[in-house]
A and B are shown apart, each in its own frame.
Chain A
Amino acid sequence: MNTSQSSRRARPLWVRLHGSEWVSSVALLAFMALMLVPIYLMISVSLRSEADSAANPFGLPLEPMWQNYVLAFQNMHYLRSVGNTLIITILTAVLTVLTASMAAWAIVRYTRRWTRTAYQVFVAGLTIPVFALITPLYKIMQQLHLLDTFAGVILAYTALTMPFAVFFFAGFLRSVPAEIEEAAAVDGCGLLRTYWSVVFPLLKPATATLSVFVILQVWNDLVVPLVFLSSDSHQTVTLAVYGTIGAHSFSTAQLLPTLVLGVIPLFCIFLLLQRYVVAGIAMGAGK
């Protein structure tokens, strides 16, 4: 009550701010437009002929040349690449969510010295760059016959995301009271039953945010597939973009459709699940 009264007294200031708010809003929108120019270029040039965009890169695609996409689509083996990436991404997300949430549950609800140490070991992994272990990891994959397999890539991604996932679930679980789980235990639920029918549903919001993040990271990554996947049939979308452009001539009518096809799936996910993406970033989710 007090604050609203005092802000009313300060009216002249607010009025002044209000007048300029319109101008600043337009300025901010203009800034956003400027930042989006590269993305506009990517889409518009992808729909124009080589000669047309060379004359003026900023022109509108008045007669969109969809045939540019046909070639890119074929060169990238697009459906196969998207399928492969989907398999890797979804299985990594599922494996990470299940294992990390179980571990976090034990860490938060069974506090002993060894579980605390386990937590610290997991969290210490948060800042390890993938290049710090990629060479020995390659040798290990070779010995386990996991090179050029989806299983190898999925395990590598799961391990690399594990620190953040455990950290994230543990933080979430600490804010949830243990009573519901205890009631379930009194009712005679076994461990896995309690996890699956009580804890896992409880974690839903955290699971959604984390999954969106795993998808974002895994889908866009080039390094792991570049090093661990070699056969064409296992190509991911990022690898397809890299391979197609590396192998073909550098013409805008071929280059840009490839890029658009490469980023479009995630743009769609972002538009659909924006809420979770923003929530995840706001919580300081890793990149």
Chain B
Amino acid sequence: MIRRRSALLLILPAGLIFFGFVIYPLLRGLQLSLTDASGMGGGKFVGLDNYLAILKDRTAMTALRNTAVYTVVVVVVQNGLALLVAFWLYKLKRVRNIVRAGLLLPAMMAFVAVGYLWSFIYSPLGGPLDTVMDALGLHSLEKVWLGDPNMALMAIAAVYIWMYTGYSATIFLANYLAISPSLMEAAELDGASGWRRFRSIDWPLLAPSLTINITLSVIGSLRVFDLPFIMTSGGPINATQTLSLVIYSRSFTDFRFAYGTALAVVLLLLTAIVGVTQATLLRRREVDL
């Protein structure tokens, strides 16, 4: 019904915008990363110099490691917690909607607001968290949450997990609700219960939502920028430096455009490699079941 010319016409606007502001910048970035361009003029071809410089850039290497640690922690803890909450929500029909709405509220907040709010909560000068810990007699466990190099990255990960656990739980719950109730009842009657039942019935049936949730949390945490930007600006001593943060500061503070783009290419490759590996693994698992 749609003719060739019409199809072309219909795809053109979306295609032009997408090409002009995503594909072209990516290609341009690849080319830029092989030059010595700065904030102003062009720059001449320098081959792989920028990429070699990354290897010698302590901050960038630390950022790479931090990003990886952060991603693993967020993906595992957030999804584990969300799965528990979803199971809980599934069981308790009466409070389901209100609790889901409550848990989604943090995900409706802008990162900037969340970042400043938690900086206040973590504050070492009579901040609410320390107040609670004092009241519970846990004074000895208190840290300068965002000022301790061993603590800061995890403190930020905790905030991200706080924001998005309800979000992931909503996805798991939707999957739970789509499973036919008779299947669940049959399991109940077979006397399957507890861990064994979860392992052999719920877990395999939740494969589709697991794929979505892991993908979303991996993408979200590999690109982490706003929270460390607001809460620590990468400190103390680079403990919360992330890849996106380094790309930003090299490009727009130091105006080393070419170097910033080279780092961006690394981020893109990393996302692509992790994405493809994970898609293959998770899909294979879905097929196996």
Contacts of A231 in B (CB 8 A): none
Chain B proximity of A188: nearest CB distance (Å): 12
Contacts of A155 in B (CB 8 A): 17, 20-21
Known interface pairs A3-B182, A106-B11, A107-B11; A129-B251 also in contact (CB < 8 Å): no
Q: Does B77 sit within 8 A of A, measured CB to CB?
A: no
Q: Write out, one digit per residue, whether chain B residues 1-42 have a CB within 8 A of any chain A CB (1) or not (0).
A: 111101111110111011011111110110010000000000
Q: Does A60 sit within 8 A of B, measured CB to CB?
A: no
Q: Does A42 sit within 8 A of B, measured CB to CB?
A: yes
Contacts of B220 in A (CB 8 A): 287
Does B18 contact A278, Cβ atoms closer than 8 Å? Answer: no
Does B110 contact A282, Cβ atoms closer than 8 Å? Answer: no
> Chain A contact residues (Cβ within 8 angstroms of B): what range?
35 or more
Q: Does A103 sit within 8 A of B, measured CB to CB?
A: yes
Does A287 contact B216, Cβ atoms closer than 8 Å? Answer: yes
Q: Does B237 sit within 8 A of A, measured CB to CB?
A: no
Q: What DSSP secondary structure best describes chain B's contact surface?
A: helix
Q: Does A196 sit within 8 A of B, measured CB to CB?
A: no
Q: Does A172 sit within 8 A of B, measured CB to CB?
A: no
Number of residues from B at the complex interface, CB < 8 A: 99
One of B113, B118, B216 near A262 (C-beta < 8 A): B113
Known interface pairs A28-B95, A241-B110, A281-B167; A6-B185 also in contact (CB < 8 Å): yes
Instruction: How many A-B residue pairs have C-beta atoms within 8 angstroms? Tell me.
Output: 282
Chain A proximity of B198: nearest CB distance (Å): 16
Q: Which of B54-62, B141-149, B222-230 participates in binding chain A?
A: B222-230
Q: Write out, one digit per residue, whether chain B residues 185-223 have a CB within 8 A of any chain A CB (1) or not (0).
A: 110110000000000000000000100100110011011
Q: What DSSP secondary structure best describes chain A's contact surface?
A: helix
Does B247 contact A134, Cβ atoms closer than 8 Å? Answer: yes
CA distance A27 to B278 in the complex (A): 35
Chain A proximity of B118: nearest CB distance (Å): 7
CA distance A269 to B105 in the complex (A): 11
CA distance A122 to B23 in the complex (A): 10
Q: Does A203 sit within 8 A of B, measured CB to CB?
A: no
Does A263 contact B110, Cβ atoms closer than 8 Å? Answer: yes
One of A105, A159, A278 near B17 (C-beta < 8 A): A159
Chain B proximity of A100: nearest CB distance (Å): 6
Q: Write out, one digit per residue, whether chain B residues 141-175 have a CB within 8 A of any chain A CB (1) or not (0).
A: 00000000000000000000010111100110110
Residue of A nearest to B30 (CB): A136
Chain A proximity of B68: nearest CB distance (Å): 15
Contacts of A75 in B (CB 8 A): none
Contacts of A156 in B (CB 8 A): 21
CA distance A41 to B265 in the complex (A): 41
A sample of 20 cross-chain residue pairs with beta-carbon separation below 8 angstroms, ordered by A number, consists of A13-B188, A24-B88, A28-B92, A45-B120, A103-B13, A105-B2, A106-B11, A110-B6, A127-B275, A131-B223, A133-B264, A135-B257, A136-B25, A136-B32, A139-B32, A159-B20, A160-B22, A216-B108, A237-B110, A283-B174
A binding-site residues for B, Cβ under 8 Å: 3, 6-7, 10, 13, 21, 24-25, 28-29, 31-32, 35-36, 38-39, 41-42, 45, 54, 56-58, 95, 98-100, 102-103, 105-107, 109-110, 112, 115, 118, 121-122, 125, 127-140, 155-156, 158-160, 162-163, 166, 178, 181-182, 185, 191, 195, 216, 219-223, 227, 237-238, 241-242, 245, 252, 255-256, 258-259, 262-263, 266-267, 269-270, 274, 277-278, 281-284, 286-287
